[in-house]
């Protein structure tokens, strides 16, 4: 497959519904031949802590109790966690996941605190340099 | 008007303030000569159910009671629902609205459950194929 | 530095965590040589009121009490407000901030009600005209 324009995605939210959606978008973009550059900020960065990436991260407030229970039943029937899907997608080579240096400071995190699928730490200027000539998205 | 680069928009949120905003952005993009490709996911897909598209979908948590009452008064004075605006914009021909197949499964929806302005169901790979050479946005 | 493709950013959310994130993204994009065009809608427009831009705008619901207290401690240790950072970035010349005309009507705002760093009011068609040939983002 020929090279497509890259996707640079700022992942800000850390609820399981948005992380599920972001994972599917990243997987689809990589499968379509795009390289994908993910910058983890704020609550998304928190969600990638090594010791809690698989814990329950809640859902968007707008889900309400009814929406949360729909997602809960779905997860029982489809027990592959978004983090496992993302790890598989990463193994295919088109996806890089970086932690925002400012958010690392904010949450007093060191690189060793994060899930090994996070490739490193970067500043926002580096993120933008990599975004030239491609699409950007904020989730 | 000459052809502009397309806009591919993932609509994830299903609150009326975000659906209002998305509708205005879609209308403006189409009026500016862009073709617009909308993928409905999660709470946005729920909001497009045929039997409840015009019901109250609430507002973002950040609105608070005061913000919600501002929007409520606005809707009394400007009673055109976002879904009617979107339907009119669609009738002009530059907008396609697709339901994400994974979210259809999640909510146990069939195409007949959705408002007729939804053109069909697609997977995320198809969404990305259509996004080549254009802008992307996540709302 | 040579001219890079512009960034057009719709700022919808008005919580301090998202406004912090948006400010860092805008600052980084401008520092990378992009011109940045910001359209303020809904809760973000409310946050730019002259009389309350520096007040506490809360955080995303997903933060929870623990996340809110992490941000609170951070702000005590790093007391530069996002609005001051944004004002400094604007002074360097690559950033324009416009208020969405529809949201101005919604909140019954006049231009004089907004912080002076807001350059004016525009409609969504004008936003899209300026977005040609660049990246778009919704925060």
Tell me the per-residue pLDDT of B107-138, one tens digit each, with 9 for 90 and over.
Answer: 999 999 999 999 999 999 999 999 988 999 99
Cβ atoms < 10 Å from Cβ of B68: 15
A27 near B CB under 8 A: yes
Distance from the B112 Cα atom to the nearest Cα atom in chain C, whole angstroms: 31
- Pick from B106, B131, B139, B101: nearest CA to B118: B101
User: How far is A79 from A85, CA to CA, in rounded Å?
Assistant: 11
> C66, A49 in Cβ contact below 8 A?
no
- Pick from A50, A42, A51: nearest CA to A18: A42
Interchain contact, B5 vs C132, CB within 8 Å: yes
Tell whether the model's pLDDT for residue A85 goes beyond 90. Answer: yes
C101 near A CB under 8 A: no
Strands, E assignment, chain B: 7-11, 36-40, 95-100, 120-122, 135-138
* Set of chain A residues whose Cβ sits within 8 Å of the Cβ of B128: 28-29, 31-32, 34
Q: How confident is the model at residue A50 (pLDDT cuts 50, 70, 90)?
A: very high
Interchain contact, B62 vs C124, CB within 8 Å: no
pLDDT at position C1: 45
User: How far is B137 from B105, CA to CA, in rounded Å?
Assistant: 23
Instruction: Give me the residue label for tokens 């039997």.
Output: B51
Containing C138, the helix (H) or strand (E) segment is strand C135-138
What average pLDDT does range B74-96 have in this prediction? 94
C13 near B CB under 8 A: yes
Instruction: Give me the residue label for tokens 């254009």.
Output: B134
Distance from the C39 Cα atom to the nearest Cα atom in chain A, whole angstroms: 15
Alpha-carbon dihedral C76, C80, C84, C86, rounded to 10 degrees? -110
User: By three-state DSSP, how is residue B129 classified?
Assistant: helix
Q: Scanning every residue of chain C, which has its alpha carbon at the shortest distance from the alpha carbon of A62?
A: C61
On whether the pTM is more than 0.80, the answer is yes
Interchain contact, A62 vs B102, CB within 8 Å: no
Cβ atoms < 10 Å from Cβ of B80: 9
Burial C65-79 (b: 16+ CB within 10 A, else e): eebeebbeebeeeee
Distance from the B125 Cα atom to the nearest Cα atom in chain A, whole angstroms: 5
Tell whether the model's pLDDT for residue A49 goes beyond 70. Answer: yes
Q: One digit per residue, pLDDT tens: chain C, 139 residues?
A: 456 899 999 999 999 999 999 999 999 999 999 999 999 999 999 999 999 999 999 999 999 999 999 999 998 998 899 999 999 999 999 999 999 999 999 999 999 999 999 999 999 999 999 998 899 999 9
Instruction: Give me the residue label for tokens 């995303």.
Output: C60
B123 near A CB under 8 A: yes
User: How far is C22 from C57, CA to CA, in rounded Å?
Assistant: 14
Alpha-carbon dihedral C115, C119, C120, C121, rounded to 10 degrees? -90
User: How far is A2 from A12, CA to CA, in rounded Å?
Assistant: 30
Q: What ipTM describes this predicted complex?
A: 0.94
Q: Scanning every residue of chain A, which has its alpha carbon at the shortest distance from the alpha carbon of C6?
A: A132
Q: Scanning every residue of chain C, which has its alpha carbon at the shortest distance from the alpha carbon of B137?
A: C137
User: How far is C51 from C40, CA to CA, in rounded Å?
Assistant: 17
Burial A38-61 (b: 16+ CB within 10 A, else e): bbbbbbbbbbbbeeebeeebbbbb
* Set of chain C residues whose Cβ sits within 8 Å of the Cβ of B27: 124
Interchain contact, B123 vs A61, CB within 8 Å: no
B47 near A CB under 8 A: no
User: How far is B18 from B7, CA to CA, in rounded Å?
Assistant: 17
pLDDT at position B3: 67
The count of CB pairs under 8 A between chains B and C is 60
Q: Give the mutation candidate from C7, C62, C74, C89 for the A interface (greatest A CB count, under 10 A).
A: C62
- CATH number listed for the domain at residues B7-138: 3.40.1260.10
Q: How confident is the model at residue A99 (pLDDT cuts 50, 70, 90)?
A: very high
- Enter the tokens of residue C31: 């520092």
> A2, A129 in Cβ contact below 8 A?
no
Interchain contact, B13 vs A62, CB within 8 Å: yes
User: How far is A113 from B133, CA to CA, in rounded Å?
Assistant: 38
Strands, E assignment, B22-126: 36-40, 95-100, 120-122
A120 near B CB under 8 A: no
Interchain contact, A136 vs C139, CB within 8 Å: no
Using the Cα atoms of residue B99, residue B103, residue B107 and residue B109 in order, give the sign of their dihedral: positive
Q: Scanning every residue of chain C, which has its alpha carbon at the shortest distance from the alpha carbon of B20?
A: C42
Distance from the B44 Cα atom to the nearest Cα atom in chain A, whole angstroms: 10
Reading phi first (left if > 0) and then psi (alpha if -120 to 50, else beta), residue C42 is in left
Closest CB to B14: pick one of A32, A62, A135. A62
A80 near C CB under 8 A: no
> B70, B128 in Cβ contact below 8 A?
no
* CB within 8 Å of C71: residues ≥ 6 apart: A106, C16, C17, C59, C63
pLDDT (tens digit per residue) in A35-46 = 999 999 999 999
* Set of chain B residues whose Cβ sits within 8 Å of the Cβ of A137: 10, 136-138
């Amino acid at each position: 497959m020929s090279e497509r324009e890259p996707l640079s995605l700022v992942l800000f939210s850390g609820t399981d519904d948005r992380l599920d959606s972001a994972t599917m978008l990243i997987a689809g973009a990589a499968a379509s031949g795009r390289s994908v550059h993910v910058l983890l900020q704020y609550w998304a960065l928190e969600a990638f802590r090594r010791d809690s990436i698989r814990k329950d991260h809640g859902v968007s407030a707008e889900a309400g109790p009814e929406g949360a229970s729909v997602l809960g039943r779905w997860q029982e029937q489809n027990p592959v966690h978004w983090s496992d899907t993302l790890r598989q997608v990463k193994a295919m080579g088109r996806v890089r996941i970086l932690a925002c240096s400012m958010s690392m400071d904010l949450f007093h995190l060191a690189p060793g605190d994060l899930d090994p699928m996070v490739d490193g730490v970067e500043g926002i200027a580096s993120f933008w340099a990599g975004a030239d000539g491609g699409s950007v998205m904020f989730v």
